[in-house]
């Protein structure tokens, strides 16, 4: 997804569940999903029960709210690195 306005149709399965479980802004759903994977469960999310997923989403949302500036900086840095890698790959000669 780009930095443009996120719509419900842009969200995938987990993002939609996160919005339902937390009532967060659509723009925050992917951030919360990443926080769940990286900071809460240190794992994939597919093994979680619905109750565990809901609790993890709410905990991740709380972390995002409490540490918004740090998370926003992290996600912006990751986006820049991704964009730079993509640009570098586009400039590379084809084999």
Is the pLDDT assigned to residue 89 strictly greater than 70?
yes
pLDDT for 2: 45
Compute the distance between CA of residue 10 and CA of residue 26 in angstroms, rounded to an integer: 9
Question: Are the C-beta atoms of residues 24 and 18 closer than 8 Å to each other?
Answer: yes
- In angstroms, the CA 91 to CA 84 distance is 11
Residue spans of the domains in the chain: they are 8-88
pLDDT digits (tens, 9 = 90+) for 12-40: 999 999 999 999 999 999 999 999 999 99
Q: Is the pLDDT of residue 94 over 90?
A: no
| Across 6-10, average pLDDT | 93
Euclidean distance between CA atoms 85 and 8, whole angstroms: 28
Over the stretch 45-78, which tens digit does the pLDDT of each residue have? Answer: 999 999 999 999 999 999 999 999 999 999 999 9
Q: How many CA atoms lie within 13 A of 50 on its CB side?
A: 4
């Amino acid at each position: 997804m780009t930095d443009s306005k996120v719509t419900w149709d842009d969200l995938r399965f987990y993002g939609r569940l996160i919005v339902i479980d937390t009532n967060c802004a659509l723009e925050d759903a992917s951030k919360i999903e990443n926080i769940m994977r990286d900071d809460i469960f240190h794992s994939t999310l597919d093994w979680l029960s619905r109750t565990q997923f809901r609790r993890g989403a709410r905990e991740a949302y709380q972390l995002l709210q409490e540490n918004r500036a740090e998370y926003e900086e992290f996600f912006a840095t990751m986006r820049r690195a991704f964009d730079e890698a993509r640009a570098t790959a586009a400039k590379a000669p084809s084999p």
